[in-house]
Structure 1
Amino acid sequence: MGRQMKVPHTLVLLLGMMVVALLATWVVPQGFFETSITDSGRKMVVAGTYQLVEQKEYLTPWDLLTAIPKAFAQAQDVIFFVLIVGGVLSIARATGTVDALIGRLLEKHGTKPQRLIFMVVFCFALASSTIGTAGEYIPFVLILVALCKAMKLDAMTAVGMIVAGYGIGYGVSAFNPFTVLIAQQIADIPVYSGIELRLAIFIPFVLIGFHHVWSYAKKVSQDPSKSMMIGVPCPLEGQAKPSYPKLNKRHQTILFSFIITLCVAVWGIATKGWYLYELGGLFVAWGVVIAILGKLSADETAERFIEGVSELVTTAVLIGVARGIALILEDGQILHTLVYGMSSPLSHVAAEISAVGMLVIQTFLNTFIPSGSGQAYVTMPLMVPVGDLVGVPRQVAVLAYQFGDGFSNMIIPTNAVLMGILGMAGVPYTHWFRFCLPLIGKLLLAASIVLVLAVSFGYGLDVQPIIE
């Protein structure tokens, strides 16, 4: 049997990209666009002003090494926000609220496969869309596998429900703090602006995911021989049925406090200009409320918080290193050259086609940068000026980033959450690839249509920065 290809660790890929970026600064022509200052004080390139530098400067390997701590410093607000949210969500899990909510959902809809599949895809997509949950779904894998087994379905159906919800939620996110908020901040447009369109397309995309999973589950239910899992051992063989806590009044109160927290966040962003520092403080406050309502001791709350933070340390590191790639491109004076090179071919086609081209680029790059926040830092500094030059509104560029990041997360082997879910469910990646690829095709086609229409109807022009 031949050797299987081993996918390098994401950190290795990012560091490799930093090395490639450094080498690129030695061979790619260095140049720049003239810039103007937007009304918010950020720099924005001016179309048609690209020119080469008079004297080329070379970065050294030492510049590569120092770029890493510099990048961490520049991305510190995002890094610490991610860690805080992770810690607070861990406190919420410790109260049993998340388990009880999912358990209640399964209890109510578990005997009706069609309804169950829709509710799981919908609820997981909603959670990912609003607060960016992903790894939190891993504990529910075996519960769903057991339920599917009881309904004479297979583990592929269980994984399909989870991953379809997770990927679609990220792809059409209304206000995911790890993707939408960061990308819009980099694009210099108001955070959470354009939410009407994202809310409007949420249900249609969820229905695409539901239809794909249900069509497969229906075939397996009618003819078990059509299951993709034939011959693959089930991880629950010989194990007792998983259990989950009942949803009591304490859990309901904690869920209500979360809704209140979200409302306060939306109010603060809309009326007070809140951003990561204020939102981080709000999540800390919610964590204290959770601990009190959940009757957790101070020590247990601290332990759970640290546990949640530690689970997201990898994500935080990837965000910092990903920022380092853009930093090298900037210091090496080739960032604008890449923008010019990317915008040149796109400038020969309609802006609608350029928007679809951005989706293709984002989808491809997500293979190497599966972190949504990290991808925003790498790609948005390129996509925003490209959009400015070819007539694609920044809001549309952000939407193309969301689609490319979220949907491809469902299939790329560098996504740690996906591989963890597949591993727990006992689903081989090759089997999952065959199941998921048609779904990715459907979603990308629908996303392309949305992008074309968004450009045609001027989506985002109302918040496009004004040059002084």
Structure 2
Amino acid sequence: MTQGFRVPHTLILLLAMMLVAYIATWIVPQGFFDLVTTEQGRQMVVAGTYQVSESRSYLTPWDFLTTIPRALAAAQDVIFFVFTVGGVLAIARATGTIDALIGRLLERFGDAPQKLIFVVVFAFALASGAIGTAGEYIPFVLILVGLCKAMRLDAMTAVGMIVAGYGIGYGVSAFNPFTVLIAQQIAEIPVYSGLELRLAIFIPFVLIGFHHVWSYGKKVLADPDSSMMAGLPCPLHGAEQGQYPKLNRRHQLILLGFVLALVTAVWGIATKGWYLYELGAVFIAWGMFTAIVGKLGADRAANEFIEGVKDLATTAMLIGVARGIALVMEDGQILHSLVHGLSLPLSYLGAELAAVGMLIIQTLLNLFIPSGSGQAYVTMPLMVPVGDIIGVPRQVAVLAYQFGDGFSNMIIPTNAVLMGIIGMAGVPYHLWFRFCIVLLGKLMLAAAVVLVLAVTFGYGDDVQPQVNTLVITDTN
């Protein structure tokens, strides 16, 4: 009798991906585009300037090893935000507030888990689409895991709700300042133009995400053994329970502090450009407030905070190593070569197929450039002129970028926020991949249909700049 194949630990999978990227730096041609610096201080590639490096440099095995601690340093903002949130939530749990909240939500949604799933997917998609929230969902992970466990669902369902909302919100965003605004500025079309189509497809795409998560949740409810998480430890370490405390005045005051922290965070993101460092400070303030109102005492609050941080050490390593995959490619000078090589086939396609091709290319490139704004600065200067030649309106090129960047955020292992979410929930990456790849396929198919129809009906023609064809003649 032969022993079945055992999927390695997520950390081993990520290290293997790093190794593949390292080998690729020895094989893929090294090259680069010229770069210009925008008024915002970001570097953007210049179309038509790609050239292969005259001499090839190789990363040594030592370079590969040093990439790992460098990647941890590069991802420090997400890592320390995860640590902060984990510690603060441990303080909140010690006061009984989280358990009381779960009990109250069970009273509201216990008999209708489908309502909970829809509300979470819709709310997170709306927030991501409006202001680009992503890492801000990390504080909700353990709360939703506990709620799902109490509803006889599992951690996969909890992560599915969060990540489906996050990815769909980015993909069909009408307002996201980190993706839509930047891409439209680079494409030289009016910012927030084409709003009507993006608003029209929002609910249909949210329903695709809801249907996928709820279909899985129904199977788990009908047969707990069908859960993809069966036999795996719960990140709550047995803290889930059958009886929940009543939501008293003290708990309500702590939850009010949480809401005020979220409102402050949203205000800071929208008006002050805050990100994870500032959001971490907001949650530290809420943690202090929680410890005082909950009457934990300084020593106990400190111990609870440290225990919460300890539980996320594995998650921190996953986030850091995930960042290392892209870092190896940057060091090996093959990132621009991959972008250039993937963009070349588009010129041989018709407009409708080229739009779908842009979607596929943006999806693949998100693995190497997990930053939404960074991907816009690298890819849009190339997609715009290619689209002009082929007949793909710039508005459609922007939409293809949104779809490719947003939907693939749900599955790429180089996405530090994703790795933080599944790490906190105790969901191994290979299981998450199995769950999400089908959802990604559904969304990509729907996106391809939208892009073909957008080209067919001239979406964006009203804002398309007049492009003059440059004819070079021989004057000799």
- Output the TM-score relative to the length of structure 1: 0.70
Establish whether residue 143 from structure 1 lines up as the match of residue 155 from structure 2: no
Q: Give how far 1:85 is off.
A: 2.4
Q: Give how far 1:52 is off.
A: 0.9
> 2 CA distance for matches of 1:174 and 1:336?
24
- The residue type equivalent to 1:385 in the other structure is V
Q: Which moved more, 1:435-444 or 1:52-61?
A: 435-444
The superposition leaves residues 370-413 of structure 1 with CA deviations (integer Å, 9 ceiling, x where unpaired) of xxxx9826x9856752333113767864553332232789xx99
Corresponding position of 1:465? none
Corresponding position of 2:406? 402
Q: Give how far 1:159 is off.
A: 6.8
Specify whether residues 257 and 375 from structure 1 end up closer, same or farther in structure 2 by C-alpha distance, changes over 3 A only: farther
Corresponding position of 1:253? 253
Q: Which moved more, 1:38-47 or 1:164-173?
A: 164-173
Corresponding position of 2:355? 352
Q: Secondary structure at the match of 2:18?
A: helix
Specify whether residues 419 and 309 from structure 1 end up closer, same or farther in structure 2 by C-alpha distance, changes over 3 A only: closer
Kept after mapping to 2: 8 A contact 1:47/1:389: yes
Residue pairs, 1:153-232, within 5 angstroms: 162-173=158-169, 204-211=204-211
Q: Give how far 1:318 is off.
A: 2.3
Kept after mapping to 2: 8 A contact 1:356/1:452: no
The superposition leaves residues 150-208 of structure 1 with CA deviations (integer Å, 9 ceiling, x where unpaired) of xxxxx6xx678545423322323479xxxx9998999999xxx98x9999866544544
Q: Give how far 1:451 is off.
A: 6.7
- The residue type equivalent to 2:72 in the other structure is F
The counterpart of 1:376, out of the listed 364, 370, 374, is 370
The superposition leaves residues 60-84 of structure 1 with CA deviations (integer Å, 9 ceiling, x where unpaired) of 1111122222222333233222322
Q: Secondary structure at the match of 1:295?
A: coil
Kept after mapping to 1: 8 A contact 2:319/2:420: no
Q: Secondary structure at the match of 1:36?
A: strand
Q: Give how far 1:441 is off.
A: 4.5
> 2 CA distance for matches of 1:4 and 1:420?
23
Kept after mapping to 1: 8 A contact 2:81/2:276: yes
Q: Secondary structure at the match of 2:409?
A: helix
Specify whether residues 87 and 402 from structure 1 end up closer, same or farther in structure 2 by C-alpha distance, changes over 3 A only: farther
- Output the TM-score relative to the length of structure 2: 0.69
Q: Which moved more, 1:330-339 or 1:307-316?
A: 307-316
Q: Give how far 1:36 is off.
A: 0.7
Corresponding position of 1:8? 8
Identical aligned pairs, as a percentage? 50
> 2 CA distance for matches of 1:289 and 1:228?
39
Q: Secondary structure at the match of 2:8?
A: coil
Corresponding position of 1:315? 315
Establish whether residue 388 from structure 1 lines up as the match of residue 393 from structure 2: no
Specify whether residues 48 and 439 from structure 1 end up closer, same or farther in structure 2 by C-alpha distance, changes over 3 A only: closer
> 2 CA distance for matches of 1:220 and 1:308?
28
Q: Give how far 1:357 is off.
A: 0.8
> 1 CA distance for matches of 2:110 and 2:279?
36
Kept after mapping to 2: 8 A contact 1:121/1:164: no
Residue pairs, 1:22-421, within 5 angstroms: 22-111=22-111, 115-123=112-120, 126=123, 131-133=136-138, 134-145=141-152, 162-173=158-169, 204-211=204-211, 242-349=242-349, 350=351, 352-358=355-361, 360-361=363-364, 376=370, 384-391=377-384, 397=401, 399-406=403-410, 420=426
Q: Secondary structure at the match of 2:44?
A: strand
Specify whether residues 346 and 95 from structure 1 end up closer, same or farther in structure 2 by C-alpha distance, changes over 3 A only: farther
Q: Give how far 1:51 is off.
A: 0.5
> 1 CA distance for matches of 2:245 and 2:17?
45
Kept after mapping to 2: 8 A contact 1:169/1:406: no
Number of aligned residue pairs: give it: 413
